[in-house]
Structure 1
Amino acid sequence: METLKSLDQALFLELNSRHTPFWDQVMVLVTNKYVWVPFYLLLIILMIYFYRRRGALMVLTLGASVGLADFIASGIFKPFFARLRPCHDAVVGATVQAINGCGGKYGFVSSHAANSFAIAAFFCFLLPARQWPLKVALILWASLISYSRIYLGVHYPGDITVGAAIGVVTAWLGIYLYHIISERYRFWRV
């Protein structure tokens, strides 16, 4: 376990050390959850417009997936593991470039990674294979948000990896719930 922790810290320090004024501004923008509100609203509108009631069910199950991912990351993992964020850590804290403040005390796991990967994976599971360019774009979007957390000095790569895994699992559960409800209740198939 100590070897993994050391590797995580070393990888973090390498990734966090590469800063430029331009990318500092970009990453602060990327990590801001309010910047993405228009994107989320567009997704919701498009889902309901194209799929009607099924789209509304998609929105509800996607919301459940993201809510569960966020709860697991912030409500269970962070207090249970109590791993300090890199910017709060006595070992690496002095060398961390925390551009946008440090945030809460604990960082394992990243809620940003869990939530963004829950959204991306939900659509990857939902959309047909021919929509692969959109799927790739969503994975890149979630990866950019996740990387911004390392760049800004608030999460280790391990925090991101486990957060992303939680997002994928909760997305799969959301899709499973979507299929159960839509098959069982005719109302949602229209």
Structure 2
Amino acid sequence: MNCDHNLFLALNFDGGPFMDRLMLTVSGTTMWLPLYALILWLVWRRDGWRNVILFTALMIAALVLSDMISGIFKHNGVLGGLLPDFEPRWRPMFTPALEGLEIAPDSLRKLRWLTPDSLAAAGITHDWVVHVPVEAVSGRFGTVSAHAAVIVTLAVLSASVIRRRWFTGLMVLSTLLICYSRIYLGKHYPMDLVWGTAVGIALGLAAFWTYRRLSRPKKELQ
């Protein structure tokens, strides 16, 4: 196993039902809607309502593009066919080598869908090395992490525009929390998140550069 696998195993653990539910919530969308509202409000306070419209358009475009670019490496989404010869990497939860099993990833994927009671009823006993809540089982491939790409894009763009220390700290904390939730849920290796971060930084900076070029000072809009 390489360093990426070892680091993943060091960070992934069974935290019990409460931790499972918390990480599933963190990894979802609903919890972060107030953050999006806060960002738009802060941009409005700083730059005025017309610039909020521009910011919102650029933010949506950058977030959609970050998800689409991430999908290229997993052969899904609108751009999924751009790299037909690229071999995507299976999610940790579907990697037999981590479990010491000599089966195909698809076979492990079928086992992951089964609850502990269903496994026992089928006579299958195995002490899982990778902790994966049943609700988190989905998809096949992990590289590049779309979650990392999206949250980093949002963090870079919004922190660059708003420029307040407390807000930058909030975005860094939110980014770390979301990225760790993907490891906890068995969906991504650390390097999946690193590549997603690289995509997010590039798109976030590009969106900020465009915003700076197209936005007008608040005084001129009054």
Name the TM-score, length of structure 1 as normaliser. 0.85
Who is 2:62 aligned against? 65
User: Match for 1:43: what amino acid?
Assistant: I
Q: Which runs of 5+ in 1 are unaligned?
A: none
User: Match for 2:186: what amino acid?
Assistant: G
Who is 1:89 aligned against? 95
Note closer, same or farther for the CA distance 1:58–1:28 as it changes in structure 2 (3 Å cut). same
Verify: 1:29 aligned to 2:64, yes or no.
no
Q: Give the number of the structure whose residues are more often helix, by fraction.
A: 1
Verify: 1:111 aligned to 2:146, yes or no.
yes
Who is 2:155 aligned against? 120
Contact 1:121 1:139 in 2 (8 A): no
Contact 2:182 2:188 in 1 (8 A): yes
1:70-121, CA deviations, whole angstroms, 9 ceiling, x for partnerless residues?
Answer: 11112x1222441100111121255211113322111001111110111111
1:105-138, CA deviations, whole angstroms, 9 ceiling, x for partnerless residues?
Answer: 110011111101111111222223xx11110111
User: Match for 1:106: what amino acid?
Assistant: F
CA distance in 1 between partners of 2:40 and 2:54 (Å): 11
Aligned-pair CA distance for 1:29? 1.0
SS of residue in 2 equivalent to 1:78: coil
Moved more, 131-140 or 20-29: 20-29
CA radius of gyration, larger in = 2
Who is 2:115 aligned against? none
CA distance in 2 between partners of 1:10 and 1:32 (Å): 26
Contact 1:65 1:118 in 2 (8 A): yes
Who is 2:178 aligned against? 145
Aligned-pair CA distance for 1:62? 1.4
User: Match for 2:69: what amino acid?
Assistant: I
Who is 1:164 aligned against? 197
User: Match for 1:58: what amino acid?
Assistant: F
Percent identity (aligned): 32
CA distance in 1 between partners of 2:41 and 2:169 (Å): 21
Q: Which runs of 5+ in 2 are unaligned?
A: 76-85, 100-127
Aligned-pair CA distance for 1:45? 4.6
CA distance in 2 between partners of 1:24 and 1:89 (Å): 20
Match of 1:98 among 132, 154, 158: 132
Verify: 1:41 aligned to 2:37, yes or no.
yes
How many residue pairs get matched?
180
